[in-house]
Amino acid sequence: MDRITDIFGGDFSAVKTKRSFLLLIVLCLLTAVLYPQFTEAASTYYKSSAVIFANGQKLSLERQPVNVNGRVLVPARTVFSKLGARIDWYSSNGKVHVVTGNKKVELQMGSSSISVNGLSTKMDTYPVLVSGTVMVPLRQVAEALGAELKVSGSNIDIVFRGGPQQDGKMQGYKVVIDAGHGGSNPGAVVGKTTEASLNLDIAKRLNGLLTKEGITTYMTREKNVDVGLYDRSGLANKVNADLLISIHNNTHSNTSISGSMSLYYPSSSKTNGKLTSKGFASIVQNKLTGTLGTKDLGIIERTNLAVLRTANMPAVIAEVAYMTNSKELAKLNTSEYRQSAAQALRDAIIEALNKI
Ligand SMILES: [Zn+2]
């Protein structure tokens, strides 16, 4: 509206007002035609009203499906993890792999090629990135994984047999999730990124994933607030948690250093059934490096860390990646990477709980 007023100098007659109003409408229409609902990079996509179900159960998606060439695209990770698939996203070259025990589906942002176990074909649509979420063609990927789609109006049900992760199978376990630092203690600060905020974001994602598994979770903080060092292990001891996982990110004066490490307190008193803190640390370390592709800096004994020393159960500090390494910081600043980190920790916790 300001620009229109400017064109007419702000002081115009009734006739000019009418004209400027018409001009405004024309401009609005032109804007609507020239700019579709979303554009990101070279891709064009539109909002979709599709509601996605998996075996009849409605999925809650972090992002609404979109349409590309009339085909429905869905958030890859949320939807296909329901079919037991792992999603590997390579932000550097725009490739995304959807992997199950016997299928590997390879896609590329903006490309209509789809490869299933190495056999390549063309789709009439292509994957896109929507505000950082990897969106892939639902039908092509679902069918490649052996699922079928049942469509009824805007409801789409992905029907599959075997393979899906069954929600709630880990009921009865208690896990305390500790997001390191917070409040007046931001932890490491590199540029605009604080460690406390990265830790909290990964912790919240992990909380969602564990809750889905039926695990009872407790978070030492859910906001950017101060939490005492002893209150962290204190919560775990109070609720008699099976495991305590504390999420951190690392720094080093040498910016070329990168990778993941897992810290634990070496004591036989921190066991739960057959699982020791050391055993838990090994599992966390394997999952972090395996899922994120980070350098394996190993599991490290630490006797001077209150959160580990005072916990009565297997407890691990997961140092996900290095904020002082520019490549790892760039990855940490993407939601995909933080989600992958959370998934790695979820997988580690499930494996550890199964060893108790
Ligand atoms: Zn820290």
How many angstroms is it from 218 CA to the middle of ligand 1? 19
- For the cut 70, the answer to whether the pLDDT of residue 8 exceeds it is no
**In angstroms, rounded to a whole number, what is the distance separating the alpha carbons of residues 293 and 108?**
19
- For the cut 60, the answer to whether the pLDDT of residue 31 exceeds it is no
Which pLDDT value is given to residue 57?
86
**In angstroms, rounded to a whole number, what is the distance separating the alpha carbons of residues 81 and 79?**
6
Average confidence (pLDDT) over 314-335: 97
How many angstroms is it from 89 CA to the middle of ligand 1? 26
Q: What is the C-alpha R_g of the chain?
A: 24
How many angstroms is it from 324 CA to the middle of ligand 1? 13
Q: How confident is the model at residue 43 (pLDDT cuts 50, 70, 90)?
A: low
Q: What are phi and psi of 134, to 5 degrees?
A: -80, 115
How many angstroms is it from 307 CA to the middle of ligand 1? 12
Which pLDDT value is given to residue 170?
77
The first and second tokens of residue 280, run together, are: 């838990």
How many angstroms is it from 350 CA to the middle of ligand 1? 24
Q: How confident is the model at residue 82 (pLDDT cuts 50, 70, 90)?
A: confident
**In angstroms, rounded to a whole number, what is the distance separating the alpha carbons of residues 179 and 200?**
5
Contact 64, 52 (CB under 8 A): no
Cβ neighbours of residue 222 closer than 8 Å, sequence gap 6 or more: 200, 204
Q: Out of 20-34, 107-121, 182-196, 267-281, which region has the weakest mean confidence (pLDDT)? A: 20-34
Which pLDDT value is given to residue 2?
33
How many angstroms is it from 112 CA to the middle of ligand 1? 42
How many angstroms is it from 196 CA to the middle of ligand 1? 7
How many angstroms is it from 190 CA to the middle of ligand 1? 13
**In angstroms, rounded to a whole number, what is the distance separating the alpha carbons of residues 224 and 181?**
9
Q: Which residue has the higher pLDDT, 9 or 310?
A: 310
Q: How confident is the model at residue 308 (pLDDT cuts 50, 70, 90)?
A: very high
The pLDDT tens digits of the residues spanning 95-119 come to: 999 987 778 899 999 999 999 988 8
Q: Which residue has the higher pLDDT, 343 or 229?
A: 343
Q: How confident is the model at residue 19 (pLDDT cuts 50, 70, 90)?
A: low
The share of the chain scoring above pLDDT 70, in percent, equals 85
- For the cut 90, the answer to whether the pLDDT of residue 38 exceeds it is no
How many angstroms is it from 186 CA to the middle of ligand 1? 9
How many angstroms is it from 274 CA to the middle of ligand 1? 29
- For the cut 80, the answer to whether the pLDDT of residue 202 exceeds it is yes
Which pLDDT value is given to residue 81?
86
Which pLDDT value is given to residue 213?
85
Which pLDDT value is given to residue 27?
54
How many angstroms is it from 251 CA to the middle of ligand 1? 9
How many angstroms is it from 181 CA to the middle of ligand 1? 6
How many angstroms is it from 318 CA to the middle of ligand 1? 9
Contact 323, 181 (CB under 8 A): no
Q: What are phi and psi of 108, to 5 degrees?
A: -135, 135
Average confidence (pLDDT) over 291-308: 95
Mean pLDDT rounded to a whole number for the chain: 86
Which pLDDT value is given to residue 4?
32
Average confidence (pLDDT) over 53-81: 92
The pLDDT tens digits of the residues spanning 48-58 come to: 999 999 888 89
How many angstroms is it from 104 CA to the middle of ligand 1? 36
- For the cut 90, the answer to whether the pLDDT of residue 356 exceeds it is no
Q: How confident is the model at residue 5 (pLDDT cuts 50, 70, 90)?
A: very low
- If you search the block for the tokens 């407890």, which residue do you land on? 315
Spell out the long-range contacts of 16-23 with Cβ–Cβ below 8 A and sequence spacing 24 or more: none
How many angstroms is it from 258 CA to the middle of ligand 1? 15
How many angstroms is it from 203 CA to the middle of ligand 1? 13
How many angstroms is it from 78 CA to the middle of ligand 1? 28
Burial class (CB in 10 A: 0-12, 13-18, 19+), 87: buried
The first and second tokens of residue 281, run together, are: 């640390």
How many angstroms is it from 343 CA to the middle of ligand 1? 20
